[in-house]
Chain A
């Protein structure tokens, strides 16, 4: 396994380098710069600003300077927020986005797996159709619709929950977590239903039933492990997606997480911030994919690290 991890890490280096280079070139190609504003900045001030951030150096030199600094963990100051460093901003936003993603994942797993199980127990009956239709709606309903709907019902009509914030008042984490988790719950419901149906129709389950093993033991001990395999391989990309895709939910609920910085940085042409967050998210996605491969091998004895490699 260690060898497997080592080789995967090795593969990650060129991937990261390509990501950095492409991002660096693309953001410089975008028209407009970090210091353009509605009230024109005088050429004199602009010159000073470019000098300060070394934007007047040749592009290749800026690139290698950046790379050199990035290796030592220095991602520079943000252009938009000059008193904050990119690392500071990432590590301020990250714990919040991470907590949001984990909460959403827990919501998604609880709702998704139980709905999938319930559906799989009686395929093609109402007990299957109702949760699965709900799941379909969940997949189709974007979070920018789901969020405001939940806010309207639970925040404004019923007045049970706060409509925004993160840790400002009790219960303000509930609605964002459900909103972000809902779409993933729906995927997980469909995946676990499919996985369970496949496993439940297999010979070893029939054998177990023939032996007279109680149904709940069959279900939880024999079937669930295999039935959830598709869910596990979905988890890696899903967590990465939750982390990098939390932008919409963070905006709806005014959560000071990383997702908002990521998107706003692009609009602001905040070069250092774009680079920093892109590198950071790339590393995360690589790590989570690796992790889900490892878990998949652990759950499924038919796979080995060699296959995955």
Chain B
């Protein structure tokens, strides 16, 4: 009897484990079928281009919709999109786009200039409350319309001259305007579809569901169930469908980097959205060909609250910023090839590299701190370093704490908060030193430097400098690129002197990438037009 029981138990376990033979992995069959399996971070909040705000959303929307201007996959230079050509007036204020007559929606309707007028109007509708409406604020009267100051959209500088000609008038010459047009917030939506499922400014409309979605991009939405794989299929109506090699893309919503890495290892994914920090070294040693590291247009930094003593003294801020060893942080902690940052704007952003930097000089830092009245760290108040709860951020905060103690003999305390509490604390300026980061919206120094103008929504340091504001304003009005960059240099110099913000490193984008994946080029915005991507067998 007992033996029988024991046997049953073992037998059950045995069957459970053996019922499954070795499996065929996802990627083995994917190449023939041209199906891309892509780790996409989290479940998208939505797929409405005018309401979306994140990278996972971008990745999917970029497959489903196409803006006026596309991107060269290698260097992001403007390429034909829904418009096959465009002209720019001499004063850089008027852009005329000629739409591709072949461009069609996925239901076969032609893409027209009216579609763009309608879509930009939608993005700017006050009641839609789109967070990215400001992307179009460079367009004449767009801000006024969005804030309800003017009601008539005809006064906004976006007009259809005829069925295929779309004209845009800008408030000021904006050298990065074309680059804004590859941001999904400026993408068109299909008017009839929007209106079938709700009002123009209804954010809860169900038009983005797979069964309703009409797009003009290289792929169409085939399946979107909550927290499951999102599937898009090749769009036969797309004007450039001959270029498109992939038949299907599957986006996996995986918010856990460790799980994602395991899925990559079991050949379920072609590409991951990130690499867990503790795995980087292992891949670097054992299979460097799978590890992909490339510069990314973003800066990791710490904010100083310039209203709170002792940080109200620029010498103290500068001393703090000068006494940390950034190289050590990227080499010993982040390990992902990040580049130490000694100023805010990443080097070579559209040809701009800051001339002024914060130097790493502990002796000088000690002198500055002594000048400020804290010689040898004596009398320095016990202030706090705030970061949002995460192991990676904690390690950096601990390193800063130790470096400051060692270099300047000052004791700072660490504390952390969950993400939303952290955002609340920082935006209410209820901190002394707080972690921060900024990812550029477009390739231009302005996306970084504009942040610290007086009263700017993302400033959050209390920093206010008339000369700085003037430089940024002047840069916005200047046609001459050289002159413009000089204004930026001036602004950046003020930032490195006054140090409301302490840059730590320039981000890199890390992936694990399967060898079959071709046509995927590294670029600083991490944009990868899917029409150029294909899968090829490797030996």
Where the two chains meet, the residues of A that have a C-beta atom closer than 8 Å to any C-beta of B are 30-33, 36-45, 48-49, 52, 77, 80-84, 88-89, 92-93, 110-111, 114-115, 117-118, 121-122, 127, 148, 151, 154-156, 158-165, 168-171, 174, 178, 215-216, 219, 251-254, 256, 260-261, 267-269
Stretch at the interface among B15-23, B239-247, B502-510: B15-23
Q: Is B23 a contact partner of A32 (Cβ separation < 8 A)?
A: no
B14 within 8 A of A: no
Q: Is B17 a contact partner of A45 (Cβ separation < 8 A)?
A: no
Report B-chain residues with C-beta under 8 Å of the C-beta of A268. 420
Report B-chain residues with C-beta under 8 Å of the C-beta of A118. 2, 5-6, 9
A44-B206 Cα distance, complex, nearest whole Å: 25
Q: Is A253 a contact partner of B259 (Cβ separation < 8 A)?
A: yes
Name the contact of B227 in the complex, choosing from A42, A115, A162, A256 (C-beta under 8 A).
A256
Q: Is A164 a contact partner of B262 (Cβ separation < 8 A)?
A: yes
Report A-chain residues with C-beta under 8 Å of the C-beta of B227. 92-93, 256, 260-261
Report A-chain residues with C-beta under 8 Å of the C-beta of B420. 30-33, 36, 267-269
Where the two chains meet, the residues of B that have a C-beta atom closer than 8 Å to any C-beta of A are 1-2, 5-6, 8-9, 12-13, 16-17, 19-23, 26, 43, 45-46, 48, 51, 53, 126-127, 129-131, 133-134, 146-147, 203-206, 208-209, 225-229, 252-256, 258-259, 262-263, 265-266, 268, 417-425, 427, 437, 457-458, 460
Query: Whose C-beta in chain B lies nearest to the C-beta of A41?
Result: B131
Report A-chain residues with C-beta under 8 Å of the C-beta of B421. 30-32
Q: Is A40 a contact partner of B22 (Cβ separation < 8 A)?
A: no
Name the contact of B23 in the complex, choosing from A115, A121, A170, A260 (C-beta under 8 A).
A170
A251-B457 Cα distance, complex, nearest whole Å: 34
Query: Whose C-beta in chain B lies nearest to the C-beta of A46?
Result: B129
Q: Is B20 a contact partner of A161 (Cβ separation < 8 A)?
A: yes
Query: Whose C-beta in chain A lies nearest to the C-beta of B43?
Result: A81
Q: How many Å from the CB of A256 to the closest CB on chain B?
A: 3
Q: How many Å from the CB of A87 to the closest CB on chain B?
A: 12
List, sorted by A's number, 12 A–B pairs whose CB atoms are closer than 8 Å: A32-B420, A33-B420, A33-B424, A41-B457, A83-B204, A93-B226, A121-B5, A156-B262, A156-B266, A253-B259, A256-B226, A256-B228
Name the contact of A39 in the complex, choosing from B2, B26, B252, B458 (C-beta under 8 A).
B458
Q: Is B424 a contact partner of A36 (Cβ separation < 8 A)?
A: yes
Report A-chain residues with C-beta under 8 Å of the C-beta of B12. 110, 114
Known contacts A77-B204, A216-B1, A32 near B423 by CB under 8 Å: yes
Q: Is A40 a contact partner of B427 (Cβ separation < 8 A)?
A: yes
A145-B16 Cα distance, complex, nearest whole Å: 21
Name the contact of A32 in the complex, choosing from B146, B256, B424 (C-beta under 8 A).
B424
Report A-chain residues with C-beta under 8 Å of the C-beta of B45. 80-82
Q: How many Å from the CB of A134 to the closest CB on chain B?
A: 12
Q: Is B46 a contact partner of A82 (Cβ separation < 8 A)?
A: yes
Report A-chain residues with C-beta under 8 Å of the C-beta of B252. 254
Apart from the given pairs A171-B20, A253-B259, 20 other A-B contacts in the complex at a CB distance below 8 Å? A31-B417, A32-B420, A40-B427, A40-B460, A42-B131, A45-B133, A77-B204, A80-B45, A82-B51, A83-B46, A93-B226, A114-B12, A160-B17, A163-B263, A163-B266, A168-B229, A174-B16, A174-B20, A216-B1, A269-B420
Known contacts A30-B420, A93-B226, A118-B2, A40 near B20 by CB under 8 Å: no
Report B-chain residues with C-beta under 8 Å of the C-beta of A93. 226-227
Most buried by B among A30, A154, A254, A269: A254
Query: Whose C-beta in chain B lies nearest to the C-beta of A151?
Result: B262
Q: How many Å from the CB of A9 to the closest CB on chain B?
A: 31
A48-B51 Cα distance, complex, nearest whole Å: 14
Q: Is B9 a contact partner of A38 (Cβ separation < 8 A)?
A: no
Name the contact of A48 in the complex, choosing from B20, B126, B204 (C-beta under 8 A).
B126
Most buried by B among A92, A117, A256: A256
Q: How many Å from the CB of B193 to the closest CB on chain A?
A: 14
Query: Whose C-beta in chain A lies nearest to the C-beta of B54?
Result: A37
Q: How many Å from the CB of B227 to the closest CB on chain A?
A: 3
Name the contact of A155 in the complex, choosing from B2, B134, B262 (C-beta under 8 A).
B262
Report A-chain residues with C-beta under 8 Å of the C-beta of B6. 118
Known contacts A159-B22, A160-B21, A164-B262, A45 near B423 by CB under 8 Å: no
Q: Is B266 a contact partner of A83 (Cβ separation < 8 A)?
A: no
Report B-chain residues with C-beta under 8 Å of the C-beta of A48. 126-127, 129
A116-B253 Cα distance, complex, nearest whole Å: 40
A33-B48 Cα distance, complex, nearest whole Å: 22
Q: Is A81 a contact partner of B254 (Cβ separation < 8 A)?
A: no
A284-B228 Cα distance, complex, nearest whole Å: 25
Q: Is A45 a contact partner of B129 (Cβ separation < 8 A)?
A: yes
Report A-chain residues with C-beta under 8 Å of the C-beta of B43. 81
Q: Is B131 a contact partner of A45 (Cβ separation < 8 A)?
A: yes
Report A-chain residues with C-beta under 8 Å of the C-beta of B255. 251
Q: How many Å from the CB of B61 to the closest CB on chain A?
A: 14
A89-B21 Cα distance, complex, nearest whole Å: 35
Report B-chain residues with C-beta under 8 Å of the C-beta of A31. 417, 420-421, 424-425
Q: Is B268 a contact partner of A163 (Cβ separation < 8 A)?
A: yes
A159-B22 Cα distance, complex, nearest whole Å: 5
A158-B20 Cα distance, complex, nearest whole Å: 11
Most buried by B among A32, A168, A219: A32
Q: Is B51 a contact partner of A162 (Cβ separation < 8 A)?
A: no
Report A-chain residues with C-beta under 8 Å of the C-beta of B51. 82
Q: Is A162 a contact partner of B23 (Cβ separation < 8 A)?
A: yes
Report B-chain residues with C-beta under 8 Å of the C-beta of A160. 17, 20-23
Q: Is A89 a contact partner of B262 (Cβ separation < 8 A)?
A: no
Q: Is A37 a contact partner of B53 (Cβ separation < 8 A)?
A: yes
Q: How many Å from the CB of A45 to the closest CB on chain B?
A: 5
Report A-chain residues with C-beta under 8 Å of the C-beta of B437. 38
Report A-chain residues with C-beta under 8 Å of the C-beta of B146. 44
A256-B417 Cα distance, complex, nearest whole Å: 27
Report the 9 A-B pairs with minimum CB-CB distance, sorted nearest first: A32-B420, A256-B227, A40-B457, A48-B129, A32-B424, A36-B423, A31-B421, A31-B424, A114-B9
